[in-house]
Amino acid sequence: MAIIIPDSLQLVRFSQKVYNGPMKKKENFAPIFIFFLAFSLIILGLIRFNFFNNLFGAIGNIFSPVQEVTFQTFQSILNLNEEENLKNLKEENINLARQLVNQEKLEKENSALRDQFQTATIKSTTLIAAKIIGAPNFVPGVTEPSIFILDVGKSSGIRIHDAVILKDNLVGSITEVTEFRSKVNLITNATSSFTAKTLRTGAIGVVRGEAGREMSLQNIMQEADIKEKDIIVTKGGQELGGSGYPPDLTVGTIISVEKKPSALFQNANIVSDLNFSSLSTVFVIKSQ
């Protein structure tokens, strides 16, 4: 086999090709390096002069109306939802309070009916339950009630002079009636006057209303036996039709006696066992 030996000129040319190849590849990176260097310097310069802050601010100003509208829209939706929730919550609270009030009223009415029919000597068939819906001239802590307005009237069979009671205690008398309302003068009213007696001895006198819860028992015979803590009851003054006060209804208790030897009569001061300002339900004795 023949061996070919390259000459020196060929070796030189081959070496130049090998050397020039990598050098040309290295020269291809120079423009790229210069480009990125320049770009970096430009970016640094722009950052130094707050270019991007101004750019972003300008962009923000451009889109701020859209952002504001979007925010307000979502805020309105949230506010509507919140208002709706508050409205529903208020309605629930109102309904709950109404239910509690109705329940309490029903319990009081049931308790009043139960106590009335268990303790009163008046037949239940002649009693009409009535709610007190007004008390003219009554100022809590200043004055005591002397008049009640009831939620029953002619349509319920109420008549003038019908007696009003609570359990076996006398409350007053019907003085005015409309179709669905009636007015009661309490036994403490200054216009109230009726015959009564002491439960212990049967001493007779005339009860007259005074201020507050007090009344006076007048025209008691001088020799009659009366004293403090005596219970006063109605003597009875019903008319043929049944209106008026039936006998033996509790009026009150004697708290003091005024007796003068030279006087023809003796008098006594009475206080009702009822707290009129706290009453809510009473019963009218329906006349025939």
The verdict on 96 and 235 lying in the same domain is no
Domain count, the chain: 2
Angstrom distance (rounded) from CA 256 to CA 226: 10
Q: Which residue has the higher pLDDT, 21 or 47?
A: 47
Domain of residue 80: give its range: 66-119
Of 84-98, 189-203, 208-222, the one with minimum mean pLDDT is: 84-98
Residues 225-273 have pLDDT tens digits of: 999 999 999 998 877 777 789 999 999 999 999 998 888 999 999 999 9
Give the domain CATH number at 200: 2.40.10.340
Q: Which residue has the higher pLDDT, 159 or 72?
A: 159
- Whether 73 is covered by a domain: the verdict is yes
DSSP E strand stretches across the chain: 127-134, 147-150, 163-166, 169-177, 182-186, 193-198, 204-209, 214-221, 231-234, 250-258, 265-271, 281-285
The verdict on 242 and 133 lying in the same domain is yes
Which DSSP state fits 99? Answer: H
The verdict on 203 and 146 lying in the same domain is yes
- What mean pLDDT is predicted for residues 194-214? 92
Q: Which of 75, 91, 119 is the last residue of a domain?
A: 119
At 234 the pLDDT is 95
CA 185, chain centre distance (Å): 31
Q: Which of 119, 135, 163 is the last residue of a domain?
A: 119
Q: Which of 119, 138, 163 is the last residue of a domain?
A: 119
The verdict on 86 and 162 lying in the same domain is no
Which among 194, 203, 202 has a CA at the least distance from the CA of 251?
194
The verdict on 175 and 246 lying in the same domain is yes
CA 218, chain centre distance (Å): 46
At 3 the pLDDT is 46
